Structure 1
Amino acid sequence: MTAPSRPPSDVSAGVGLAGLVGLFAWLAVCRAWPAIAFHLGLATPLEPLSGPTAALAAVLFSGLAMALWSVLVDKVHRRPSTGIDWTRPRPLDEVIDISITKIAGLWATWAVIGFAYCVARWYWQGQYVFAMEVLGAAMLPLFVLSVPYVLWLDRVLVDPRDGAWHFGAMLIGREACDPEQVRIHWRAWAVKGFFCAFMISILPPGWAELTRLDWAEVFASPFAMTHWLTELLFLVDVQIAMVGYLLTCKPLDAQIRSANPHLAGWVAALVCYPPFILMGPGSPLDYHYGTADWSVWLAGWPAPLLWLWGGVLVALTAVYAWATVAFGLRFSNLTWRGTLTNGPYRWTRHPAYLSKNLFWWLSTLPFLVTTHNVNDAVRNTAIMALVSAVYFWRAKTEEAHLLAEDPKYREYHAWMEQAPTLTRALGRLLGAARRRPALQPAE
């Protein structure tokens, strides 16, 4: 029987690459800012642009590059999946009532999310304070600009009565609404509300480190090289992911089709993020007690082996960042926004989870402990295994969501079951080991 062919990806490789160009161009400008400001005679401090505002501006540069590539090259705005028909815009008076209802639903949604931010104490501590400042500053422009945006978009939408409209209709009470559409709307905005605040909060630290980095530190040792290259790749992941959470709009075909409806999916995801995180210091799945990273345990190894080990860690982090970049404008936890079949998703359905967990195992080596206590070594190893199990659980809940929603994902899943992928190769090796007959004693 002929194996199914790989379905085309909903996101081209060029989108993520465009985002990388925009991100690295801005990073280069920020690092070179002292020289730029000096030659231009600008009355600014002659130091790199390493503050939170510069980190936030990086999202603009990478996001703009990805949006332009999507529209000008991939022409995603013309896809039927956007739900837009640009050829037959309606007169404004035909959609004005629909738009008012939708705006009411959107404004009420943002008000509820804002209230949740106010009452949740963790949003006003530590690095989350920056996120609250950013979202507070964006509040008025967001409310004002939503009016012309909704009026413009509703004129060309095939069906402008989306989840926001149904929520607005429920609040106003003049027209019948679909409760399921309201639930879909709220699941999507719960994802955006939770993860946007988190992502904004983690933008500044990595940006400050990399914009002020002295190149001499990078080449000091295999440990230093590995550390700074992984920091750079984590910066790529965070910046591109932030763009994905922000640009969930239909003209870019990047809208959230649906958020995961399964409670298990939400639990599996939220326990990996603050304030619900189970892997943090002192938490139930903290596997760091008495541990030291690979730079301690392997310090006495020959230099070539250290470079090799560090190279493996960098490669795993690169796969992790690549998995985010491959999403382009569509990265988001707990959502269906199209199906990816290219990049690292050509080789495994969950490259980010696989590479992330392998990195943790190889960088932490939880079975080695500074306490010289066998119980600590066994406990840390077992807990690290439980952490990996959580990510396996996340993967399965995500698959359950996508298999139920997206015919293309079902095709992709079927293709992955037969294609020569990384996970199938590992599965074959494990299966062969289990089936290998035991050695017979010599007669």
Structure 2
Amino acid sequence: MLISAKPIPVDGDHVLRGRWADAPIAATVVALAYAQLRHRDISDTELALGLVASVAIVMSAIEYRRANIGVVRPRLNWRDAAARVARNWVEAMLGAIVVVGFWTLVRVEYGRPEFRPLWEALDVSLPVVAPAVLLHAVIAEWRLGRTRDSGTPVLSLLLAGRSGVDVDGLRRTALSLLVRAIFLPLNFCSLVGVLHHFRWYEYDLLTGRYGGAETGVVIYGLLIAAITPGYLFSSRLLATQVKSVDSSPLAWCVTLACYSPFSALIFDRLLDYRARAGGSLTYKSYVDILEYRPGLSALVIFAALMCQLFHYWGEATFGLRSSNLSNRGIIVDGPYRFTKHPVYLSKCVGWFIIYCPVFANDALGVLRSTALLGSVFLIFALRARCEERFLSGDPSYVAYALSMDSKGMFAPLSRRICSLRFSSRLERWRYAQEKHSQR
């Protein structure tokens, strides 16, 4: 899911404005929550749950205010309202059962030691899920009534004898649950791992004893804590419900390739792109070459950290809408005002600074390493292209992407290279769609 630049004359329910401050707010909440919990006798998993809950509560309050400004509370038929509350509660609980059932069925993967925090978190959080969901359903019905119905037809399959099954809605719900089931454990367990590292080396990290690399760990921890709540729930009360999910096999393949366990196979083994110093073949990156030039080395490290901060800003701007392969609204501020893909851009530039070989005692080796690093960039380029094609069905995104052809940071380049313009890609996609529909 991507973003848009203002002004854009599109449906206000799809375009979300005024989110420049969300990333620093989330970082502040994480820092304050950690300061309050750091000395308590709790496990890393419980600490992670505390940070995620803190971010979720604060950002939910902010999103609630944004989503409900100007919304008039409807007059309710209490019998009908009670029935809708019961239905929505059952829908949400069925979704939770499906997600947990997926983790149980795929125990070969989720039974590995690195996913132990997932099961520890379930033991702590499951008792509060049902009452929390019920309270949310009651408040949403009281505040909104039938406004912003999510239309998630989990029950429609069970009630197919009384009414037809919404196949498209059922597929969207199933894919949305699959996204949550796959990416929630990855993010949460990564957060637990970062917290374990941080608690162990807290003094050295906070005093900067380990330098830029460890500062990057802090930024990554803030990032994971900020986006994990987005995978926990969607809410019509906060206008964070899933509007559509990408079903393209290519989009799923290139997205999953960037996450464990596939990233270990593809990035670390197949595309062993990292420049290395030492051994019979020496591939040196900028960081290695400038090791004995403190001033220039600090400048390169600073540039890499700025890339990580830009990455954090891009991810945290989504907040409670964080979700791969999904459209949960088109955000119109933050780093997406400058480029459609700030997360992928910052990742690739940062990796180029850290890993690109600029010197080697083996010319063939440096060419090989550079080509493999380029292959990594190609994967992210494919992710960006798949996201654009998926979101090209949303008029809000189309308006944004077309405006970026002339206003974005890469607009001068796209004016000279036709293939870089979204307008040319949109034309091809629509032509292909028309031909497909005529068959």
What's the counterpart of residue 221 of structure 2? 235
Give the structure-1-normalised TM-score.
Answer: 0.80
Counterpart of 1:142? 129
Question: For residue 417 of structure 1, what is the aligned residue in structure 2?
Answer: 405
**CA contact 1:11–1:326 (8 Å) conserved in 2:** no
Structure 1 segment 83-94 matched on structure 2, within 5 A: 86-94=72-80
| 1:376-387 superposed matches below 5 A | 376-387=365-376
Query: How far off its partner does 1:160 sit?
Result: 7.8
Q: Count matched residues.
A: 399
Instruction: Please name the residue that 2:316 is paired with.
Output: 325
Return the match for 1:303 from 269, 278, 294.
294
- Give the one of 61, 65, 87 matched to 1:68: 61
> Which residue of 2 is the match for residue 176 of structure 1?
164
Q: 1:257 to 1:126 in 2, by over 3 A?
A: same
- Report if aligned partners of 1:163, 1:182 keep a CA contact under 8 Å in 2: no
Per-residue CA deviation, residues 44-64 of structure 1 (Å, 9 max, x unaligned), is 67xxx7723222211122222
Q: Among residues 261, 270, 273, which one is paired with 2:259 in the alignment?
A: 273
Cα distance in structure 2, aligned partners of 1:131 and 1:169: 30
C-alpha displacement of 1:412: 1.0
Mapping for residues 28-39 of structure 1, pairs under 5 Å: 28-30=35-37, 33=39
Q: Pick the structure with greater CA Rg.
A: 1
Match for 1:55 among 48, 53, 66?
48
* Code of the aligned partner of 1:362: I
| Counterpart in the other structure of 2:22 | 15
* Structure-2 separation of matches of 1:24 and 1:295: 32
Q: Write out aligned runs for 1:17-416 (5 A).
A: 17-30=24-37, 33=39, 51-72=44-65, 75-78=66-69, 86-120=72-106, 121-154=108-141, 156-158=144-146, 162-164=150-152, 166-173=153-160, 174-211=162-199, 212-215=201-204, 218-220=207-209, 224-277=210-263, 283-288=269-274, 290=276, 294=285, 297-298=288-289, 300-366=291-357, 372-405=361-394, 407-416=395-404
Contact preservation (8 Å) 2:212, 2:302 = yes
Q: Deviations over 1:119-147 (max 9, x none)?
A: 22111112211112213443343234434
CA distance in structure 1 between the aligned counterparts of 2:6 and 2:83, rounded to whole angstroms:
46
Aligned partner letter, 2:298: W
Q: Secondary structure at the match of 1:252?
A: coil
CA deviation after TM superposition for structure 1 residue 77, in Å: 2.5
Matches of 2:267 and 2:315, distance apart in 1: 26
Q: Which has the higher contact order (CA 8 A, sep 6+)?
A: 2
Amino acid at match of 2:339: T
> How much has 1:226 moved relative to structure 2?
1.2
Q: 1:69 to 1:103 in 2, by over 3 A?
A: closer
| Structure 1 position 20, deviation (Å) | 2.1
Whole-Å Cα distance in 2 between the matches of residues 311 and 428 of structure 1? 31
Contact 2:285–2:356 (Cα < 8 Å) also in 1 = yes
Q: Matched residues in 1 for 2:330 and 2:182: separation? A: 23
Aligned sequence identity (%): 19
The one-letter code sitting in structure 2 at the alignment partner of 1:250 is R
Deviations 1:53-111 (A, max 9, x none): 22221112222222223334xx32246xxxxx652142332144455444444433333
Assess, with a 3 A threshold, how the Cα gap between structure 1 residues 104 and 52 changes in structure 2: closer, same or farther.
closer
1:436 maps to none
What's the counterpart of residue 434 of structure 1? none
3-state SS of paired residue (1:404): coil
Q: How far did residue 192 of structure 1 move?
A: 1.3
Offset of 1:230 from its aligned partner? 1.4
**Contact 1:255/1:337 (<8 A) preserved:** yes
Code of the residue aligned with 1:262 in structure 2: it is S
- Cα contact 2:67–2:239 (8 A) shared by 1: yes
Amino acid in structure 2 at the alignment position of 1:309: V
SS at match of 1:170: coil
- Say whether the 8 Å CA contact 1:105–1:168 is kept in structure 2: yes
Q: Please give the alpha-carbon distance, in whole angstroms, between the structure 2 residues aligned to 1:318 and 1:298.
A: 24
Counterpart residue type for residue 61 of structure 2: L
| 3-state SS of paired residue (1:277) | helix
Structure 1 contact 279–387 (Cα < 8 Å) conserved: no
SS of 2:270's equivalent in the other structure is coil
In 2, the alpha carbon distance for the partners of 1:131 and 1:378 equals 41
Structure 1 CA distance for aligned equivalents of residues 141 and 237 of structure 2:
11
Shift in Å at residue 252 of structure 1?
1.4
CA RMSD after TM alignment: 3.0
Structure 1 unaligned segments of length 5 or more: list them. Answer: 34-43, 80-84, 432-443
Partners of 1:150 and 1:176 in 2: CA distance? 25
Deviations 1:255-297 (A, max 9, x none): 2222223222211211111223266575323323856785862
1:363-392 per-position Cα deviation (integer Å, ceiling 9, x unaligned): 1124656xx554443332212111111111
Deviates more, 1:337-346 or 1:106-115: 106-115
Secondary structure, counterpart of 1:251 in structure 2: coil
Is contact 1:287–1:366 with CA below 8 Å preserved after alignment?
no
Question: Which residue of the partner structure matches residue 38 of structure 1?
Answer: none
**Is the Cα–Cα contact under 8 Å of residues 320 and 351 in structure 1 kept in the other structure?**
yes
Q: Which runs of 5+ in 2 are unaligned?
A: 9-14, 278-282, 419-439
